Structure 1
């Protein structure tokens, strides 16, 4: 990236690779005319996203309206990136799916019990990479 092009769109494969590298993101839900956003830790294989949660607002909203957006980002000293995935979320119900989810490297960041798994099938994914440099002269 050059200073002439400080923002670059990422292709689908780049987005998937960055999504796979992350562990913390934000889940956006909408239900009953209300929009919420929740910080969550996650695991992704690049085609889907897995989160663990406890009963509460987040899980309730997902059962009312399954369409969600998910965002994760990261940065280094020289650049930053952001990936946004849209898809449909569903709570895992079958024991086979739950057993498989239990094998994923997904642990809560805080000492709480989270026995519910939510799987998001990614339908659309976009991302951008940003060059980090000083702000240009304004005048």
Structure 2
């Protein structure tokens, strides 16, 4: 039933080294937030990366509505990954610059205080400064 944003039935998400998360069933209803909690090494990241297609997957059924991915599906990794470049380059990557998207990313990631606290005097310089210089 793809009226539900997320449906997973009897799935296994596995890495090449053999670690796997088995027998996962999730029914995500519209408008809900699903959080994963558990001890270190219990498979939270494996499960989420599996949904994103980063692991080997076997399942009776996995259904993710396309608009779910575009409107409200997110994965925040435990480890920060930044490429050497400016704040703007790390947010935009290789995409066309979209000012509204850029400002929204700054807002939802709460980066503005970090950027404003940087050692650069003018705001526009801060957004174009190299990430390693800010943190």
Query: How does the TM-score come out when normalised to structure 1?
Result: 0.26
Query: How does the TM-score come out when normalised to structure 2?
Result: 0.26
Larger relative contact order, structure 1 or 2 (CA cutoff 8 Å, min sep 6): 1
User: Which has the larger share of strand?
Assistant: 1
User: Which has the larger share of helix?
Assistant: 2
